[in-house]
Amino acid sequence: MNQTDLATPVRKKRVRKGPPDAPRLRFWFILAKETLTTCSIVALSLEMAEPFHCIGLENIPEQGSFVLAINHTNVRWTPRMLASIHLATIQRRPELAEEWLVIVGHREPRLERLQPWQRWFALKIRRFYDQIYHRWKYNSLRLPMDNDGASLKALREWRIRSKTQPSLVFPEGRAATTFREVRLGSGRWLAALGVPVLPVAGWWDETRKGWVLDFGLPIEWSAQTNLQDLQLGLAIAEALPPEEAPDWQAALTRWRTVHSPEITTQDRHEEPS
């Protein structure tokens, strides 16, 4: 918290420093406990989830595996969004509660730029994180972003596991305040997995004080592979409020002109009567 200016008799409002959704000590206790014992993602989600309002939950397949491709907003702490999506999903598919697979982008620190003592510390931290991810390897898969060989190996593993485990991926690769361009080749890769891929638009609604999670229909991929990245981005952006995807509005306008969808984004976000 910011310090109060003691030199003035006027009592100032105390402002909380940092994000309003910082994890509580209880979360870290549960994470440590689950890491050392059963590694239950349901226990983590129950602690981290925030209120949410779902649209299109019925679009999740009643059987079989699937992929959720969601925009990576950093307006709130990412684990809170993941937890809310997880609990929403198992309303539809409770048997998959512990089967989730989260695809995590991973970049190795550039140790050559560090001082020797900093390098030693960074290596210790990396080893610690490696051990945690190893314990959670059933529910998380790290995708190296700066090592082509390791990345291909992880992608092959994902392709195999996607047949039996529902997975969640952020196609942008990096978190941002608004929906940005998807990573090159992400749509083409998802189309090749051979399982339904649902676009999910998620954003924090200040009015509801909770998440709005819009689950779209599985994407019907174009036969032209060079269009599949654009397809993926448009499918997510179409369900987001315009202010959540400003970079996509021009492309959406062109797309809507051609396809003239019957249901507009505004219609999708209205409360059911």
In a domain, 273, yes or no: no
Other CB atoms within 10 A of residue 99 CB:
17
Residue 263, pLDDT score: 47
Quick check: is 173 in a domain?
yes
CA dist 47 and 227 (Å) reads 40
Separation CA 98–CA 77 (nearest Å)? 22
Is residue 215 domain-resident? yes
Q: Closest by alpha carbon to 171, among 75, 77, 103?
A: 103
Of 153, 169, 48, the closest CA to residue 100 belongs to: 169
Q: Does residue 55 lie within any of the structural domains?
A: yes
| Residue 86 and residue 41 in contact, taking contact as beta carbons nearer than 8 Å | yes
Q: Is 237 within 8 Å of 108 (Cβ atoms)?
A: no
Q: Which two tokens stand for residue 264?
A: 């507009």
Please give the radius of gyration of the chain, using alpha carbons only, rounded to the nearest integer: 21
Q: Helix, strand or coil for residue 150? A: helix
Residue linked to tokens 């003592």: 117
Report yes or no on 186 lying in a domain: yes
Q: How confident is the prediction along the chain (273 residues), in pLDDT tens digits per residue?
A: 443 343 433 333 333 344 445 566 788 888 899 999 999 999 999 999 999 999 999 999 999 999 999 999 999 989 899 999 999 999 999 999 999 999 998 777 677 777 888 888 888 888 888 898 899 999 999 987 766 677 889 999 999 999 999 999 999 988 999 999 999 999 999 999 999 999 999 999 999 899 999 999 999 999 999 999 999 999 999 999 999 999 999 999 998 888 765 545 555 555 544
Q: What angle do CA 238, 240, 242 make, to 5 degrees?
A: 90
CB atoms within 10 A of CB 123: 13
Question: What pLDDT, on a 0 to 100 scale, did the predictor assign at position 25?
Answer: 78
Spatial strand order in the sheet of 210-215: 52-55, 210-215, 197-205, 67-70, 167-169, 101-106, 140-144
Question: Residue type for 51, please?
Answer: P
Number of domains in the chain: 1
Question: How many Cα atoms sit within 13 Å of 8 on the Cβ side?
Answer: 7
Residue 175 domain-assigned? yes
In a domain, 132, yes or no: no
Domain of 190, in residue numbers: 41-100+166-268
The reply to whether 171 falls in a domain is yes
Provide the pLDDT for residue 1: 42
